[in-house]
Amino acid sequence: MSFDDPTVSFRNAFARNFRVAPELFEREAFVRCVPRGYRVIAAWLIRWVPDWFTLDLQVLGEVARTTTLDEVRVLSGDFRAGIRHRPNLVRDRLGLRVSGRRLMTLAKQVLSERQT
């Protein structure tokens, strides 16, 4: 599997790009896709109370298997629409949640770099 292989998943391209283990994709991507001011708190919460973000992590798990920006775009809409999560104080009131826009920016960076 070469770096420019178009069948490399977002998970593997992300892991290679950020030098993290592939199994940490959901947790690492979660932290990178919340507002910058919340990232330290997000890193702590996702480690100690991941159940608060179960549906976010499920969507990120689906996104991890994608290989194209179009696939990421379709799945990132699940964050925007808000139909995939149950009401949650931390996620909804405090805004500590994955942003579909940030996820797309991250995907563009990671999936585009694999082709250079």
pTM of the predicted structure, to 2 decimals: 0.84
Sort residue 82 into left (φ over 0), alpha (ψ -120 to 50) or beta: left
Q: pLDDT (tens digit, 9 = 90+) per residue, 23-72?
A: 999 999 999 999 999 999 999 999 999 988 888 899 999 999 999 999 99
Residue 102: Cβ-neighbour burial (10 angstroms; 0-12, 13-18, 19+): middle
Q: pLDDT (tens digit, 9 = 90+) per residue, 3-24?
A: 456 678 999 999 999 999 999 9
Give yes or no for residue 76 having a pLDDT over 70.
Answer: yes
Residue 113: predicted pLDDT: 63
